[in-house]
A and B are shown apart, each in its own frame.
Chain A
């Protein structure tokens, strides 16, 4: 059986041979549409996107600092500790959310587990005036923008649809229709350019858009890339390739490594180790700076792994390959930084003990807040459908609230 590996960074993007113009390394794959692949092939494919010479890495899975000719990062021990703290706390919030869902306190949860470095690195690379357009799993970026996890929980508990200030925080509302936000981000970035916010000035701005590997098959990513390129929009497209679009592995989305697609649109694409917070920070910081100074757009593919289900309604055991999760646990984003901090003597045990206590306190606060979040009343249905209210909705509200109140009146209490 011919190889069905998802294409690696070593395969040529230029068609050179084969009956349908495929490179030799891919001949046969396009014809092989039965969808079957061996566990070995899946594992090999996952390796192909998370290793290799094109992958920017500054901290190995073993916790060793390595250098990169283009992306050096000067970082203090305090900053390293701060990045580690962020990752520990968002992971703890994520695990608490999953537990709350299992206990019926949240209707659903989209786990972050495994993607902490991609999101904290990208989130911490932003300046206050930058704008983020997230998908629905960017709990780590939200954390960096000062959006409290309770506000994320509100969505999944069903009490609101995103309660934070999307302008003031620089973090737009979650977008569930994949990936509508790529166009919103591009339009916003076009506005930044129209407003003259491009350049070397301190108040220069850029936009960053988050989406996943599955999203890259959608037309809105294509149109977002086209629009951003045509208008030189200052937008960083940050693709977290977590290897799975629910149950579809990457070879269902692409024949070339995702970062290489940028070339076809006329802007740079770069692949970064998404489990290395130092690399995601350095690369995203570079990309945002390039955009602010007028050299956007830029595509970043952060290779990472979804260590939990797509959502709590999903069962990854039906499609995940045995051994796959174990492979990625060896590349865990938190563990490699912890090892680095300990081995290099950059943090004492008091730091880790204090952080563990802080994580526990956070979990308790989130739990208590979550279970006491009141459900909105029926008037919420009709609230702010329009900026300028309409007689139709007003009448429906008045009728329904009167009907609702009639039950209260009959018995003297609801």
Chain B
């Protein structure tokens, strides 16, 4: 891909694949490890072809155990490697949660910098693919709540390509969320366009009616809603958070000071979540600018339901537009 001048249209999955490839070419310490990432190329084919090109020493299938994946990655990082771990699905990360929270997140702090942990943990997250249980969850708040971790969520193919490389280059542990139902979204990738730094949010669309903040799989939902809202004469300012820890809320504050209204959208349950954090911070920083309470459009505070219910569970275009009506009613 490198060296071509013409922007190439890629899927989000391909963006991740090409980004991983570029990171592995740039640094021989980068390893790719996880269940089925080698010969199969991962259940979503994100690591397709990497083992063939970089060998079984750098791209390897692990035994089936998430604590083992994260724990050995910690040891490899102590040894000077930069492991990229694939967790197959969001709901399967919890056997590795202890290693992530107790060790990966803390070793740099405990050692006061003597043990950096440049480990990336890739997790496909979110619903919308008609899957069975434990394959559709949005666990990002657990990780954003853990000091020592950095947490990001890509939402489009171009970000996928750049953000995975930036996450691998970061000397801190990065939990990297991938919106699995957007893996096949396409966009042109222009390598001449410099990427935004990793830990920055981005205004995707400007507007004056209200600010809508989201991340991951619901970014496209909100952009679609903004297009429809325009027909009603409402211009929505859409912000993709991209980084969930640390949060980059300055663009959000700037926006809310202009619009006076904020809607937060996420698939995750609402209580004690990233949307609650954004609401709290905005109420603190933009108190006198707010013309209405911060509204949230989220998944419900239930376990993820059977797949036949997920169209109702997941925030969709209509629920976002309904929130726009409600936030304007104040």
Partner-B contacts on A (CB < 8 A): 133, 160-163, 165-167, 172-173, 175, 177, 180, 182-192, 194-195, 219-220, 223-224, 226-227, 230, 383-388, 390-393
Contact = CB atoms under 8 A, between A and B. Distances in A.
A195 B75 CA distance: 14
Given A223-B65, A384-B113, A391-B246, A177 B71 contact: no
Contact of B75 (A162, A187, A226, A388): A187
B68 A173 contact: no
Nearest to B105: A385
B57 A194 contact: yes
B75 A189 contact: yes
Interface in B95-123: 95, 98-99, 102-103, 107-116, 118
A186 B79 contact: no
B79 A177 contact: no
Contacts of B170: 387-388
Contact of B108 (A163, A224, A226, A386): A386
Interface in B63-77: 63, 65, 67-68, 70-77
B81 A226 contact: no
A186 B171 contact: no
Contact of A177 (B70, B77, B103): B103
Nearest to A192: B79
Nearest to A163: B112
Given A180-B99, A227-B62, A188 B78 contact: yes
B286 to A, nearest CB: 16
Contact of A187 (B73, B116, B247): B73
Given A191-B79, A223-B67, A386-B150, A186 B72 contact: yes
Contact of B72 (A177, A183, A393): A183
Interface size classification for chain B:
35 or more
Given A384-B112, A387-B171, A224 B103 contact: no
B80 interface: yes
Contacts of A161: 109-111
Nearest to A387: B171
B306 interface: no
Contacts of B95: 219
B282 to A, nearest CB: 15
B258 to A, nearest CB: 22
Interface string B271-292: 0000000000000000000000
Contact of B76 (A191, A230, A383, A393): A191
B304 interface: no
Contact of A227 (B68, B81, B110, B150): B68
B269 interface: no
B148 interface: yes
Given A390-B246, A392-B245, 9 more contacts: A163-B112, A180-B98, A180-B102, A184-B71, A190-B76, A191-B78, A224-B71, A226-B63, A384-B109
A185 B68 CA distance: 11
A182 B72 CA distance: 9
21 contacts: A133-B75, A160-B112, A161-B109, A165-B114, A173-B107, A177-B98, A177-B103, A180-B98, A184-B75, A184-B103, A186-B71, A187-B74, A187-B75, A187-B76, A187-B78, A189-B75, A223-B68, A227-B65, A383-B109, A386-B172, A392-B246
Interface string B75-95: 111111100000000000001
A400 to B, nearest CB: 15
Interface of B: 57, 62-63, 65, 67-68, 70-81, 95, 98-99, 102-103, 107-116, 118, 147-148, 150, 170-172, 199, 245-248
Given A223-B65, A390-B199, A186 B246 contact: no
A284 to B, nearest CB: 20
A339 B118 CA distance: 51
Contacts of A162: 110-111
B74 A184 contact: yes
A266 to B, nearest CB: 13
B171 A388 contact: yes
Contact of A220 (B71, B116, B199): B71
Contacts of B70: 183
Contacts of B247: 392
A223 B71 contact: yes
Contacts of B98: 177, 180, 220
A172 B63 CA distance: 25
Contact of A224 (B68, B150, B199): B68
Contacts of B71: 180, 182-184, 186-187, 220, 223-224
Contact of A219 (B67, B80, B147): B67
Closest CB pairs A-B (n = 4) = A187-B75, A183-B71, A191-B79, A187-B72
A376 to B, nearest CB: 10
A82 to B, nearest CB: 29
Given A187-B73, A385-B148, A391-B246, A167 B68 contact: no
A256 B65 CA distance: 24
A385 B99 CA distance: 17
Nearest to A235: B75
A157 B191 CA distance: 54
Contacts of B116: 387
A186 B72 CA distance: 6
B196 to A, nearest CB: 16
Contacts of B118: 387
Contacts of B103: 175, 177, 180, 184
Contacts of A388: 170-172
Contacts of B73: 187
Contacts of A390: 150, 199, 245-246
A172 B88 CA distance: 30
A384 B245 CA distance: 16
B119 to A, nearest CB: 10
Contacts of A189: 75
Given A187-B71, A220-B67, A224-B71, A386 B78 contact: no
Contacts of A165: 114
A187 B79 contact: yes
Contacts of A180: 71, 98-99, 102-103
